[in-house]
Each structure stands twice: as structure tokens, then as C-alpha cells.
Amino acid sequence: MNMNAMMKQLQQVQKKVMAAQQDLEVKDFMGESGGGKVKVVITGKGDLKSLKLDKSVVDPEDPELLEDLILTAFHQAKEQLATESEAIMGSVKMPGMPGMGGFR
């Protein structure tokens, strides 16, 4: 493969990666804990978008429980984001380099 053809392929892959990243950034990902009493929504960029708490999980005598529930819900949302990101980026195939085979 000549260098010009390889550069064109790499540019096409770069465009696909950028489009995939933009698609991911506009999605929301939700995590829950405490039987749905704590809900966290993050953006595709990983930014916190919303946090919903049921009154029953707000106990002034046990703030650690609420902290744990929020962290659990947040981590669940981040896992969904990571899974979606891997799926999207895995669908973008890179052209093989001579002697190296293709890679993702």
C-alpha cells in the first residue's frame, strides 16, 4: 500500500472516530442503587447531569450509606458509558500497516 492511500484511509478512520465520539457525547447514561432510590445520570463525556434521591435514603444519622449509594449509582453509569464507548470505538476498524496486520 502506498503512503498516500494509507494516509487517506487514516483520515477516513479519524473522521469515523470523531463522529463516533460526537454520537457518544450526546447520549445519557443512568445508574441506580438502593433499589432505584438513588439515580444518577451522566453525559457521554462523563459529566454529572442529574442526581435523584428518594427521601427514604436521606438519613442524617447515616450519611455514609447515602454516600455509598451515590457512588454505586455513579459507577454503574460510568460502566455503561465505558461499555458503549468500547462498542462504538470497536466498530471503527483501523487499516493494517504493512507487516503488522489490522488492528482496532
DSSP letter for 93, please: P
Query: Could you tell me if residue 103 is inside a domain?
Result: no
Range of the domain at 75: 3-91
DSSP letter for 57, please: G
pLDDT at 103 over 60: no
Residues in the chain: 104
H helix runs in the chain, sequence order = 3-25, 63-90
- The whole-number pLDDT of residue 5 equals 86
Query: Could you tell me if residue 29 is inside a domain?
Result: yes
- The whole-number pLDDT of residue 13 equals 85
Q: What is the pLDDT of residues 21-79, one digit of tens each?
A: 888 899 999 999 999 999 999 999 999 999 999 999 999 999 999 999 999 999 999 99
Query: Could you tell me if residue 100 is inside a domain?
Result: no
> What is the count of structural domains for the chain?
1
pLDDT at 95 over 70: no
Residue 94 burial (10 A CB sphere; 0-12, 13-18, 19+) = middle
CATH of the domain at 36: 3.30.1310.10
What pTM was estimated for this model as a whole? 0.76
